[in-house]
Chains A and B, each alone.
Chain A
Amino acid sequence: MSAEPLHVHYTVDGGNFTSAGEASVKVKRLLRQLGSSPEMIRRVSIAMYEGEINMVIHANGGDADVYVDDETIRIVLKDTGPGIKDVEQAMQEGYSTAPDNVRALGFGAGMGLPNMKRFSDTFKLDTVVGQGTTIELGFINK
């Protein structure tokens, strides 16, 4: 592969939480074509899905950028939603502010952010209340 990392951009629609997950399924397909290992594909696509769904449910959509090179995969999820007031609390398993209508679809276990952290090798969350949230996930090919 060339030194330039491969870059793919996805726009994640807000409000459409019944068909969300499309970008993650596309990334899964892309990584399979690029020959990533099944375990890498699983980790990346699960973490990306959680981030994608969070942008849909909590931030009215956003942008996802995926960078792939030989050794690493980097995913940047950026939204201009309400931001997160207490990040430490949000990172705890079981903490969720998901409204009832999305809980009825199976969301709101409060496991999304913990999953993103667990399945990635590096996890960086920047958030400003009233401005938005950016999460950067790094994965190292093992």
Chain B
Amino acid sequence: MTVFELRDALDLTVFHEEEDRPVTGGYAGDLLSWVMGRAESGDCWITIMSNRNVPAVCSLTDAAMVIFAEDVVPDEAALEAARDNGLNFYGSPLSVFELCAKVSALL
């Protein structure tokens, strides 16, 4: 499954989108250094954190995409960084729990 396929399958809102690539796993969490230590390259990261540090963590862990759960909208500074660094940022009204179940079933 690729980022764009997952976006369509889950009917995600597009905050910013750049390059399609394979999604090879998933990680959910809001504690940034926990995510830093555990998320893998190619992951779909599901979070409710919305500040400027989210794009940094996404970029440095090389996550394939971020899904903001529960209708959370990333800050303007976070969006700007997503655009600058070519990150795939999406939103969904579903809870973290529901998103994890769906992503896990699709991968």
A residues within 8 Å of B by Cβ?
Answer: 17-21, 24-25, 28, 38, 42, 45-46, 49-50, 53, 105-112, 114-115, 118-119
Contact = CB atoms under 8 A, between A and B. Distances in A.
B52 interface: yes
Given A19-B77, A115-B33, A106 B53 contact: yes
B60 A49 contact: yes
Q: Main SS of chain B's interface residues?
A: helix
Q: Main SS of chain A's interface residues?
A: helix
A66 B62 CA distance: 21
B85 interface: yes
Contacts of A50: 33, 36
A89 B77 CA distance: 34
Contact of B41 (A38, A110, A112): A38
Interface in B50-87: 51-54, 56-57, 59-62, 77, 85
B97 interface: no
Contacts of A49: 36, 56-57, 60
Nearest to A109: B31
A109 B34 contact: yes
Top 6 closest A-B pairs, CB basis?
A: A21-B56, A109-B31, A111-B33, A106-B32, A115-B37, A106-B49
A111 B41 contact: no
Given A105-B51, A106-B30, A111 B37 contact: yes
Contacts of A110: 33
Contacts of A20: 53, 56
